[in-house]
């Protein structure tokens, strides 16, 4: 940068300048701009309470010094923070990335910003980050918790910081939460198959203690029960990843049971696993012999060579709504009752059910 000839002698003893110059503070800015500390604060927080010329001078000093306001001090003094934290169960799952983006957008519009923490499917990390955020005194926290019975409502997640849950419904309604109607998602998936004329359907997914999986199964069950002569078989897997789908696929391919003509998978990954196995198995052409619908609208579900029909959860919307709920609480505009917002999933038909009738866009 420039090397303006600063006279060291002129600088008063209070300001020491070593090789590692200390961060300039508002006091330094005030001094340079020949105004008082309060004025600097005002030009930063209440620009309209400062004359134009003064503000310009202050801003100039700020730039000259490379001053960056200390947010720790700020939120300590002001008692409020402008950032909210989001703790995500698994950044590897694009749904959570979508949720974060939705929240970020909504928050940014209201002048706040979002910091993300990744639990990486680890309950300890989740709890740790919850605490980190609370210690940092963020304005509020959005939590996309691990879906397992383990986190079943520890008395309170934070002592005071507002929290809203996303993609998980609090049993006790201690928190507001936004979820999708998993049951309806399962219903829609099965319904889609039924509408296509499929009648011998299987639901592949698990483990069943995962709330979402159970709900999706219930929904599929309900749809099948509505149709005369349709049957639903349940095939439990140990997880919702591709390998589980493959295992189930091999199992189905090997079995001599009556041929199925449709399957509802509890996740896109399972669906992809199934399809990969089916494609290598005579008599299991997808979707001719057997149609497959997944769940999640994982980004790559649409990119596999047989794009997977899927039930899409409105991730960004979920994040946006959660952010709104949280801000309501932060700003005290919240209704006294905690609310649960249920967002509708939608099915996105693709080649794995429609076949050649399907065209991308």
Partner DNA sequence: CTGTTAGCGCCTTCAT
Partner DNA sequence: ATGAAGGCGCTAACAG
Task: Mark residues 85-114: x for contact with its own copies by CB under 8 A, - for none.
Answer: x-----xx-x--x--xx--x--------xx
Can you spell out the DSSP letters for 207-261? -TTSHHHHHHHHHHHHHHHTSTT-EEEEEE-S-SSHHHHHHHHHHHHH--SPPP-
| Residue 336: DSSP 8-state | S
67 versus 295: smaller Cβ distance to DNA: 67
Q: Does 331 participate in binding its own copies (rule CB under 8 A)? A: no
Nearest to 72 by CA among 85, 84, 81: 81
Question: Taking the CA atoms of the chain, what radius of gyration do you get in angstroms?
Answer: 28
Whether the Cβ atoms of residue 70 and residue 80 lie closer than 8 Å to each other: no
Distance separating alpha carbons of residues 339 and 164, to the nearest angstrom: 10
Residue 3, contacted partner among its own copies, DNA, none, CB below 5-8 A by kind: none
| Residue from 131, 211, 281, 346 in contact with its own copies (CB under 8 A) | 131
Given candidates 11, 63, 73, 208, which one binds DNA under the rule CB under 7 A?
Answer: 73
Shortest Cβ 69–DNA spacing (Å): 4
For its own copies, which residue of 54, 132, 339, 346 counts as binding (CB under 8 A)?
Answer: 132
Binding mask 78-107 for DNA (x = CB under 7 A): xxx---------------------------
CB of 3 to DNA, least distance (A): 25
Number of residues that bind its own copies (CB under 8 A): 62
226-245 residues in contact with its own copies (CB under 8 A) are 242
Residue 38's binding partner, choosing from its own copies, DNA, none, with beta-carbon cut-off 5 to 8 A by kind?
A: DNA
Write down the least CB distance from residue 103 to DNA, Å: 25
* Separation between Cα atoms, residue 337 and residue 323, nearest integer Å: 17
- Our finding on whether 75 is near its own copies (CB under 8 A) is yes
Residue 126 tokens read as 């989740």
Looking at the Cβ atoms of 25 and 132, the one nearer to DNA is 25
| Cα–Cα distance measured from residue 353 to residue 357, given in angstroms and rounded to the nearest whole number | 9
φ and ψ at residue 196, rounded to 5 degrees: -85, 5
Q: Give the C-alpha separation, 269 to 246, whole Å.
A: 9
Q: Is 11 in the site for its own copies (CB under 8 A)?
A: yes
Can you tell me which residue has the tokens 């008063």? 12
Bridge partners of 263?
Answer: 202, 292
* Contact flags string 14-53 toward DNA, x per CB under 7 A: --------xx-xxx------xxxxxx-xx-xx---xxxxx
H-only helix segments in the chain: 26-33, 37-45, 52-65, 71-78, 94-109, 123-135, 182-195, 211-225, 242-254, 268-279, 315-330, 351-354
Q: What are phi and psi of 46, to 5 degrees?
A: -135, 65
Tokens representing residue 252 in the block: 């189905």
259 phi/psi in degrees, rounded to 5: -60, 135
Applying CB under 8 A, the residues found at the interface with its own copies are 1, 6, 11, 14-15, 23, 66-76, 81, 83, 85, 91-92, 94, 97, 100-101, 104, 113-118, 120, 128-129, 131-132, 134-137, 155-156, 158-160, 172-174, 242, 269, 272, 275-276, 279, 299-300, 303-306
Contact residues toward DNA (CB under 7 A) are: 22-23, 25-27, 34-39, 41-42, 44-45, 49-55, 67, 69-70, 73-74, 76-80
């Amino acid at each position: 940068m420039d090397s303006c000839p600063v006279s060291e002698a002129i600088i008063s003893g209070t300001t020491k300048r070593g090789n590692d110059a200390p961060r300039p503070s508002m006091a330094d800015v005030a001094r340079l701009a020949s105004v008082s500390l309060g004025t600097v604060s005002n030009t930063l927080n209440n620009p309209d309470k400062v004359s134009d010329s003064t503000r310009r001078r202050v801003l100039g000093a700020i730039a000259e010094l490379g001053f960056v306001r200390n947010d720790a001090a700020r939120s300590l003094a002001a008692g409020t923070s402008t950032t909210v934290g989001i703790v995500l169960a698994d950044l590897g799952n694009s749904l959570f990335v979508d949720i974060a983006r939705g929240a970020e957008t909504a928050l940014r519009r209201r002048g706040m910003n979002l910091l993300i923490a990744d639990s990486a499917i680890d309950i300890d990390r989740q709890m740790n980050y919850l605490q980190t955020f609370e210690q940092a005194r963020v304005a509020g926290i959005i939590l996309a918790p691990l879906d397992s019975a383990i986190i079943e409502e520890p008395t309170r997640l934070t002592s005071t910081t507002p929290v809203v849950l996303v993609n998980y419904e609090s049993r006790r309604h201690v928190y507001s939460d936004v979820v999708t109607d998993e049951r309806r998602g399962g219903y829609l998936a099965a319904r889609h198959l039924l509408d296509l004329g499929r009648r011998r359907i299987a639901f592949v997914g698990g483990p069943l203690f995962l709330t979402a999986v159970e709900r999706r199964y219930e929904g599929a069950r309900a749809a099948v029960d509505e149709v005369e002569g349709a049957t639903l078989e349940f095939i439990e897997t140990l997880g919702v990843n591709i390998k589980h789908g493959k295992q189930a696929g091999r199992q189905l391919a090997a079995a001599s049971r009556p041929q199925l003509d449709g399957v509802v998978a509890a996740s896109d990954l399972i669906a992809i696993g199934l399809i990969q196995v089916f494609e290598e198995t005579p008599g299991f052409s997808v979707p001719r012999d057997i149609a497959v619908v997944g769940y999640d609208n994982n980004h790559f579900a649409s990119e596999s060579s047989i794009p997977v029909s899927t039930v899409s959860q409105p991730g960004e919307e979920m994040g946006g709504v959660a952010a709104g709920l949280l801000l309501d609480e932060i700003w005290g505009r919240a209704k006294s009752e905690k609310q649960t917002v249920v967002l509708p999933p939608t099915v996105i038909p693709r080649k794995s059910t429609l076949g050649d009738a399907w065209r991308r866009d």
